[in-house]
Structure formats: structure tokens, C-alpha cells
Amino acid sequence: MHATGRTVHPNEQSRQRPSPSFPLRRVSRALWAAALVFGVVTSTHAAGTLKPVNSALQAIQIQDHHLGVVINNGFAITTVNQTFFNPNAQDLEALYSFPVPKSASLSEVTIMLGEKTIHGEVLPKGKARKVYEEERDKGNESGLAEKKGYQQFEFAVSPVKARSTAVIQFVYYQPLDIDTGVGRYVYPLEEGGTDDPAAQSFWTRNDQVEQSLTAEIELKSAWPVADVRLPGLENSAAIEKIGEGHYRARLEQKSARLNRDLVFYYRLADNLPGRVEVIPYRADPGKPGTFMMVVTPGIDLQPLDRGADYVFVLDLSGSMSGKLHTLADGVSRTLGELKPQDRFRIITFANSAQSLCGGWTAANPEDVAGAITKVKGLQVAGGTNMHAGLRMALNDLDDDRATSIVLVTDAVTNTGVVAPKAFHKLMSQHDVRVFGFLMGNSANWPLMRTVCSASGGFYAGVSNSDDIIGQIMLAKSKVTFECLHDADLRITGVKTHGTNDGAIGKVYRGQQLVIMGRYNKPGTATVTLKARLTGEDKTYTTTFDFPKINKDNPELERLWAMTRIEHLEHQRDVGLMEDKEVRSAVQGLGVDYQLVTDETSMLVLADDAFARHGVERRNRQRLAVEHQAQAARRTAPITNYRVDRKKPAFSVPTPSIGGGALGPVGGLSMVGMGVVMLVGMLSRKEDREAS
């Protein structure tokens, strides 16, 4: 949906050695790309096809764009099918890219070139590229999918015939969290601004869909759903309730532009029980099983009445240009919600850090109004020296008051200290929690993870199609209520491995705990969550059975492997593992579970080409199992995976938005679901109308 590449000019032909089977097609090769945007991202990572400025070639056209999403018990399956048309008189090699959604497992790539369909297999990165270039240079249909850090996937496709179409389909799996009873899925399309300025000046972008854009989102929840919503699309999306917890939303537009995110919200019913759910997968009794455990605490956490200190740390670097309005509006409204006994400071950073209001400021109406005026007058410029901003935020802390840092940034650091290990060291030295809000999909979420995990905080992604005040107010509700301290979750009775359980630290109001892992043998297990609450030791426990066989959710294997990869990379970022060791382990997991990673790529070839190169068809085998399970789930009743019905782990309901997790926000229209968090694409317009 967005392009990047280069034209091979005629005078370059003499430097190339044409293959007999591909004699003249390389004379005028051009690269193009299409990028999906998760939230707010770079111009070469936004939706649309690109061509070089001043190029005689026409941009690749997007004829059709079709999106299919199924959200079922903790994870989403996203299928994107796009038809591109090459209007030029020569064949093209194509590069297609889209930003990497957090924790997404790219599982499938299919390319249809004329009457030929080719599929993908994951290999070590160097080998995959070598084979692709060899096949491409022979003129054979071929493709390659590579991961470029946390920012984007890139697909190379060759050849795209002159005045012909190419169809690309890709599928990725993604875990979804529930926060205070609200689920959120984002399909990325909007342009942001974190890209290299040289790239921005080199390319022109076409985000027009010439024919049709369709989307279908199916929600299958084992728990009652109070409402669903697609903000900004109320008049064009058709939402159907199929049954309890089962909804389908459809959207169709003609001649649409791919320039705004599609955000889908669903809110669970109030007063649902605290619970433990375990989704298992084990296809072979001779091999380990995989599981996803979701713990939704039901704990009577009381509000904290004493005043608190808040430090707002705001990114004013040039990459925040398209996001500054969202930042300023959210922070201004949040300042207006502070209590008189609260205090605040505002730190801004670009090339360096500055204090906007001096030292600690009491949250009285006059000083809040003055701070809001300053925030709304902020301008962006310069680089991203986030380390300097956090260092200044950690000055002058009061040990007698609870302090929280609200960090709003894309975290794409390029000035000053940039090493993740240094951020981890800085935040580990202070008893302060960072609540991070990542502006955009190509935002540096691994660095934000490092900052927040070191401080015992949390982070969330924010798109311009969100209302950032909803996210910040959810954070404020967590800070202003008690939380569990020194939380530790263990599974005993059945041997598990490769899990992310153990020491958790703090657990906040409305927060879910998601544990991925593997188990060797079936049997009865006990899960125990221990923590401290208001100085007392608390224990929450239940028992459940790991099954001998359960073939319903084979996608869990890839989701587990991606969790392990993220864990390994985090260990490296904080200095606990060597880079070489991590890279080797990531490559092994990528090949074994057929995941595109920084060390592995997906090679897309015809069946005979795979045989010629001796490539084992691991992904074909894995996809056959996954497709079979998906077909069975399509018509099956929704499965509830709660395992603590007979022996509940928690005694009170879970908190929810509808149950009063957030107080009313003055001056903000409670649209649709009656909650500030859910004001989406039209939030800025509705806010103006409400005021």
C-alpha cells in the first residue's frame, strides 16, 4: 500500500549482465512498496504506492484492498489481500513494505502473478536473499519477505508484468490484551513522520484505491460483550450481532484513500468474574504442548486519596509533527483532571531537555490553566534525546509522595544516549513508575518496553485515531488505585518451560497477565499468584488440567515462539545476554516455527524451485494444520477456556469502564460506548463540538 525503491536508468544496463531468459526486462526495473501503518508512522511506511520524484514511471496503482480479521479468545488473525496494477510499458521488480505490528507473527505470504501462485518458506536471512536474487535474475517468479528491525517488513516481488496485475496476500497472528474490560484492534493505514528526511524527499506517494476497499472484522468472545464500535465509521460500517459475544462488522468503500487507521473496540459486560483461562494446543502425545494462560484479576483495589506527583515527559522531535495535536490535547485534558492535592511538572525534549513550567506546580485551577496554554503552544523541531528527558524527569523527586512519569513519544532515539542498556540502568536506579504512550506503529516499542519494565510501569500504543486522553486516564486510574506489589506467578504439578511467568512485580487495576509457555506431559497443574496488598501477603490459586490432546489452536506455537524471541531480545537489550547468542537463538526459532525475524526471511517460490534448491516445506506443513483448525473453528461454537469455575482464584468481579473505572471527563463527549477511551477517528472533531 505504499512504495519505495529505485529506477534502474538506461545507462545502468551496460553494468548489468542480462540472463538469457530475462534479457531486456532489467533495462527499466523499478522498485515500489506498500506500507501498512500501525497507528501513526513514517511517510514511507504509510499506505500508498510510491515512485521516485521526477521519475518517468507511473506509480503502481492499488486496484483493490481487502481486509479480513478474526478475533477469537486472546488473539487476532489478520488477512490482507491486495491487487496492484502496473500501468507502465515494462516489467517491474517490486518492493512492498508495511510496519511491524507489535508481537505479530507473519505466518503466510502468497503472491499471484498471472496464472501462477507462489508460496513462502522461512530460511536463514542470508540464504533466503541469495536464492531470491538467483531466481529473480533468471526471470523466474519469486518473492522475499524480510524484517527490518522493529519498524517494518519488506517484500520483494519479481517480475510484475507490464500493464498487468499482481495479487499479494499475507497473514499475521497477533495477541490482544483486554484493559479494564476493553479490547482494541488497530489496522494501520495513517501516515506519520518518523522516516529519514532524504527518503521523504525522494518519493511521492499514491494512497488511492482505484476500485474497492472492503473490511470484515469478526469478534468471537467467550464472555458477554456490551458494545462494539468502529470510531468514525458509524455511518458506513454495518455491525451485526450474530450471538452472545459474537459480532461481525463490515465496511465497503469505493475509490477510498488509505490514509486513516481502522480502529475496532469491544467492551465486555460489567461485573464479569475474576478468572483464569488456559488455551492449550497439543497435537502429538509424543511432543510438548503449548499454552496461553490469561489471568484477569478480580481484586478489591481501593482508591488512593492522598495527592500524587506526575511528571509529563513530552517528545517534541521533528518526527512528532503529525502527532503533536493529539499529544497536546491529551495532556491538556489530563492536566485538567488532576486533583488540588496533586502536583505536576512538564519536561519536553528534542535535541535536549527543558522544563516547561519550572519545578513542582500545584494542580490548582490557575496554574493548570497556565500550563495548558503552554502545552498547546508547543512546536516540534530537532532530534530525539529521550534519555535527557528522562534524566531531567528523575530530578527533585519527593520520597514521601508517589511519583509517576507519563512519557509520550515515538521513542525513535537519534540524539544523545541511545543504547537500551543505558535506559535500563537509569530507570532501575529510581523508585518511580513510567507509563509510556507510543505514538505510532513504527515507534520503538522495544526501547519503551525496556524503560517501563525497569520501572515497574506499562506502555500502550496510541494512534491519531485514538483519543490519547483515554489512554492517559486509564493510566491515571491505575496510579490512583492500589496495586499488587511483588507479584509472582508460578505453575506447579506439571513441568512447564519456555514461559514468561515468575516474578512479575506490580499488577495494576484492570491489567491482564498473559503467560505463554510449553508443557511436556498432560496432568493436573496448580497456578498460584502471590503478591502483597497494603502490606499483607495475598495468595490467589486454582488447579486445572493440561490436556493430552487438543488441536483447536495450532497458531499458539508461533505466538509462543514470538514471545520467546521478544524475551531473548529484551535480555540482550538490558545486557543479560550476548548479541551473538541471541541472534543464533532467534534464527533457530524463526526457522523451526516459520517466523520472519531479524535473522530469518520468507522466500517465496514455485514448488519446483523449492525442490530445485532443496528447501524443506515446513511452512506448507504448518499452514495445512492451521488452515484445518481455522476452518473447524469457523463453524464451531465459541469455546470458553476458563479453568477456575469450580475453584475460583478470585472472589470479586473484574473492574470495567462501565463499572466506574474512569470518572467523567469534563467537557469531553461520551460518544458511542460512553467512555473517553473509545473516542476514535472523529475524536478531535467531536471534542470541538462538545466544548
pLDDT computed for residue 11 by the predictor: 31
Is a pLDDT exceeding 90 seen at residue 688? no
Strand, coil or helix: what is 610?
Answer: helix
Identify the pLDDT of residue 203: 46
Mind listing the pLDDT tens digit for each residue in 207-246? 677 788 899 999 999 999 999 988 878 888 999 999 999 9
Q: pLDDT (tens digit, 9 = 90+) per residue, 151-176?
A: 788 888 889 899 999 999 999 999 99
Q: Which amino acid is at 340?
A: P
Pairing of strands 49-52, 496-497: unpaired
Comparison of pLDDT for 570 and 255, the residue scoring more = 570
Stretch 631-650: mean pLDDT: 97
Contact 686, 673 (CB under 8 A): no
Contact (CB, 8 A) for 233 and 251: yes
**pLDDT of res. 15:** 32
- Domain architecture of the chain: domains with CATH: 309-480 (3.40.50.410)
pLDDT at 285: 95
With a cut of 90, say whether residue 195 has pLDDT above it.
no
- Statement: residue 266 has pLDDT above 70: yes
What are the pLDDT digits (tens) for 71-94? 998 899 999 998 888 899 988 887
Q: Which residue has the cell 535500563?
A: 424
Distance CA 559, CA 47 (A): 26
Query: Over 70: is that where the pLDDT of 51 sits?
Result: no
Mean pLDDT for the stretch of residues 546-574: 97
Per-residue pLDDT tens over the stretch 435-446: 898 887 678 999
Q: pLDDT confidence of 689, banded at 50, 70, 90?
A: very low
Confidence at residue 13, expressed as pLDDT on a 0 to 100 scale = 32
Q: Per mean pLDDT, which range of 37-46, 379-388, 570-579 is the poorest?
A: 37-46
Q: What is the pLDDT of residues 115-150, one digit of tens each?
A: 899 999 999 999 999 999 999 999 999 999 999 888
* 509 vs 474: CA distance, rounded Å: 9
- Residue 624: other Cβ atoms inside 10 A: 12
Cell matching residue 589: 526459532
Residue 344 has pLDDT above 90, yes or no: yes
Question: Does 665 or 591 have the greater pLDDT score?
Answer: 591
What are the grid coordinates assigned to 102, written together? 507489535
Interatomic CA distance for residues 139 and 135, integer angstroms: 7
Please report, rounded to a whole number, the percentage of residues in the chain having pLDDT higher than 90: 58
pLDDT of the residue at 231: 81
With b for 16 or more beta-carbon neighbours within 10 A and e for fewer, the 74-105 pattern comes to: bbbbbebbbbbbbebebbbbbbbbbbbbbbbb
**For range 482-508, the mean pLDDT:** 91
Answer yes or no: is pLDDT of 582 > 80: yes
* Dihedral sign from CA coordinates of 458, 220, 299, 541: negative
pLDDT at 474: 67
Task: Give the residue among 503, 506, 505, 490 at the shortest CA–CA distance from 541.
Answer: 490
Task: Band the pLDDT of 45: cuts 50, 70, 90.
Answer: very low
pTM comes to 0.85
- Cell numbers placing 484: 499488587
Predicted confidence band at 591 (pLDDT cuts at 50, 70, 90)? Answer: very high
> Mean per-residue pLDDT for 300-325?
88
pLDDT bin (cut points 50, 70, 90) of residue 39 is: very low
630: how many CB neighbours lie within 10 A of its CB? 18
| Amino acid 28: pLDDT | 30
Write out the three cell numbers for 399. 520520597
Given a cut of 50, whether residue 686 has pLDDT beyond it is no
pLDDT of residue 679: 27
The CA distance from 209 to 212, in Å, is: 7
DSSP state of 379: -
Residue-wise pLDDT tens digits, 356-367: 998 999 999 999
Q: In whole numbers, what is the pLDDT of the chain averaged over residues?
A: 83
Of 29-38, 183-192, 467-476, the poorest mean pLDDT is in 29-38
Q: Measured between alpha carbons, how far is 595 from 39 in angstroms, rounded to an integer?
A: 23
The pLDDT of residue 460 is 85
- Tell me which amino acid residue 436 is: G
**Average pLDDT, stretch 388-409?**
93
Question: 369 — alpha (psi -120 to 50), left (phi > 0) or beta?
Answer: alpha
Residue 17's pLDDT is: 33
Give the C-alpha separation, 644 to 257, whole Å. 47
Report the DSSP pairing between strands 309-315 and 433-439.
Answer: unpaired
Between 236-245, 430-439, 515-524, the lowest mean confidence (pLDDT) is in 430-439
Q: What integer pLDDT is reported at residue 22 of this predicted model? A: 31
